[in-house]
Amino acid sequence: MAIQRIKEQEVSYSYLYIVVSYIVIKYLLEQFINLRQLDQLSVKQMPIHIEQTLGITQKQFKRSQRFYYDKLSFEMYTKSIKTAMEIIVILCGVMPFIWDRTVTFFKMDPNSEFQRGLAYIFVEFLRLKLIDVPNNFYNTHVIEKRYDLSQISFALQFSDLVIESALWVVFVPILLYSYLYVAELGGDYFFIAMQFFVLIMAIVSSLVYPNYIQPLFNEFEELKETQLKSAISQLAFRMNFPLEKILVMDGSKRSDHSNAYFFGMYSKRIVLYDTLINNLTNEEIVAVVAHELGHWKYRHPYIKLVFFCIKILITFYIFGFYRDSDVVFLSFGFNEKSIFIGSALFFSLFEPMNTLFQIFELHLSRFFEYQADIFANRHGLGSYLMSGLIKLFKQNSTNLMIDPIYQWYYNSHPSLFERLKYLNKLR
């Protein structure tokens, strides 16, 4: 659909009010959930089960509580600022104002949806960065460094920002042009065309990101011939895991957090954070890797991809009923119709459904974590996984007191104590 002028008619603001109402309701709900979590983080006396399980001191417990209290309080503050700005942008007609100025200010072709869409995205990118960049720097260099949890320097974080912006300049025009082209080409069945487009983009990104983009931010080197490499290789062989390489990533230059993961379409590469190697025994690292390989064995990445495709199909199928609606565009102050603007407006209207999808995805993710733990335990590594998890939670200063509603709404992993309890039942 090329850019089309909408005929003058009576304007109904019902869709605008629906979006604003949902933004307010979601904000109040999330702040209520966050306040419940703040109550948990206000607990000053360490519960007995934490002391018995983790063996940490009262001082360490208080430090963890203070860190997450400060972190969540700042998140609530930034959420309030962002929500207020989002409502102002919608009610004051900032979106149609920017769209119209893509012609008068940026001198774009008034009939080129790609040019005007690109200019619109650029303005939105700058607007969001003006909020996100100071917040990220404060969170990293004030809150996290106050508790010695961040190792990243100002120079490195600024370098990351420059690289991210450069990648934006390279990829956003390509993605926008491709999206508009496929949407136009698909016609009445554009939702099927978009399904294939998004699927191809997901596959391409899974190949491009770990191999070409992530090395721009971190250094990777192959794990040296050690007992650890031999143990992981033997584990992969027993599981028929198509292991190509075991890599070590310099995660310590940014933080003390540890992790392990794998990537690759056919032959796979396992990545270990250097902090993981420095803080866990070989047996515990092998147990953590076994957990990750459990995700592969149970085909969790493919199940998530199928769910993602279903979500995309439903989303764009419903979008087909709205993309030509004059009422939707007029409700938000636009006097022109286009696929680009229609997409932006629709995804705002679709946000309630998207929230339900996200909650389901979180539930599915937590279920998958339990399955991966079962897999590691079946290979005789349950006790090592438990001790490794405890060390990781200590090292990462992970949140110890979690409200159940907060856990259900936000977290993709079960809590440490839920996982330990589950692993104990399996033994």
Which one is catalytic: 144, 256, 373, 403?
373
Catalytic annotation present for 256: no
Burial class (CB in 10 A: 0-12, 13-18, 19+), 70: middle
Catalytic annotation present for 373: yes
CA distances to 122, 155, 353, 377, 398 from 386, in Å: 47, 37, 37, 10, 15
CA atoms within 13 A of residue 183's CA, in its CB half-sphere: 22
Could you write out the DSSP letters of every residue in 343-403?
HHHHHHHTHHHHHHHHHHHHHHHHHHHHHHHHHHHHTT-HHHHHHHHHHHHHHTT------
Rounded to whole angstroms, the Cα distance separating 415 from 54 reads 13
Q: How many CB atoms are closer than 10 A to CB 146?
A: 12
Rounded to whole angstroms, the Cα distance separating 137 from 412 reads 25
Asked whether the beta carbons of 385 and 423 are under 8 A apart, the reply is yes
Instruction: Find the helix packing angle between 58-91 and 14-41, rounded to 10°.
Output: 170
Which residues are annotated as part of the binding site? Answer: 291, 295, 369
For the chain, the distance separating the N- and C-terminal CA atoms, rounded to the nearest angstrom, is: 60
Edge-to-edge strand list for the sheet holding 260-263: 220-222, 243-249, 268-273, 260-263
Question: Does residue 221 sit in helix, strand or coil?
Answer: strand
Question: Does residue 416 sit in helix, strand or coil?
Answer: helix
Which residues are annotated as part of the binding site for Zn(2+)? Answer: 291, 295, 369
Asked whether the beta carbons of 15 and 328 are under 8 A apart, the reply is yes
Which one is catalytic: 39, 292, 403, 418?
292
Catalytic positions: 292, 373
